[in-house]
Amino acid sequence: MSGTGVWLAGARGSVATTAVLGALAVRAGLADRTGLVCEAPGFPDAGLPAVGDLVFGGHDLADVPPWKRAEQLADADVVPPGLPARLRGELAAVEADIVTGGADGRTRDPAGTLRRLADDIRAFRDRHGLERVVVVNVTATEPPTAPLDALGAELGEAALPLLHDALRTNDTRLVAAALGPYGAARLPAPAWRQAVLKCVFTGVPLSVVAGLDDRADAELTRMMTDYARERTAAGRDVPADVARFLEVR
């Protein structure tokens, strides 16, 4: 598997369409790369995927396809006139990877919705043989979400497999997200302790661990103490987060 997918929440909206149209224009040689941070000196050798190699898909509740949205943006002088027409085929291909997402009537329970959205992203990844998929939220008019405590109560244990998947990666963003309020409330103690220790190993600040002071127990303190002793014995510095954790226990 190789390549990077960009999964846009709000994929048929103006923000998403403008971004996709720009990337497609760069790929087709219809736009230059001026202003692209990833093309600045120092970035080309950083292992980032080329803009033209990105694969786009997403969720949306709207039914206006990207090519039509792009025409509307051109009429409003947001994007160059004529560009949407030249890239209509490419925009139609992106539309094929946009699925209806959210509370659209296919399921009315949060846990079921979450499972379906995750399944849609996995299917997109597998369909294109992608190594990774980055999810970007570009929605702007979504209704307020339910309070996190209420949503977590409705989800129950349904999202735990997603948390375990996140914690098996070395992506610090996913590790940090898995240790938010839902993870603090739902992860079993052994898995939660190992996740906290993984934060230390991967450089995720312990300040992002929700409920750390409430859930920290004697076993986690022992694990942190052993880690600090091993570092000291090896002549290596003890991370500041670990030192602060042990100072108050």
**pLDDT tens across the length of the chain (249 residues):** 678 999 999 999 899 999 999 999 999 999 888 878 877 777 767 778 888 889 999 998 888 899 999 999 999 889 999 999 999 999 999 999 998 776 554 555 667 778 888 899 999 999 999 999 999 988 865 455 555 555 555 566 777 888 888 899 888 888 888 898 888 888 999 999 999 999 999 888 998 898 898 899 999 999 999 999 999 999 999 988 898 888 877
Question: 166: part of which helix (H) or strand (E)?
Answer: helix 160-167
Neighbouring residues of 144: CB distance < 8 A, sequence distance ≥ 6:
none
DSSP of 113-152, one letter per residue? HHHHHHHHHHHHHHHHT-SEEEEEE--SSPPPPPPHHHHH
What's residue 25's pLDDT? 94
pLDDT at position 189 is: 94
Cα 182 to chain centroid, rounded: 16
Residue 39 near residue 33 (C-beta atoms within 8 A): yes
**CA terminus-to-terminus distance, the chain:** 46
CA–CA dist 236, 111 (Å, integer): 45
| DSSP H helix total and E strand total for the chain | 13, 4
**How much is the pTM?**
0.58
Supply 155's token pair: 């989800």
Cα 141–139–30 angle (5° rounding)? Answer: 125
CB 149 within 8 A of CB 19: no
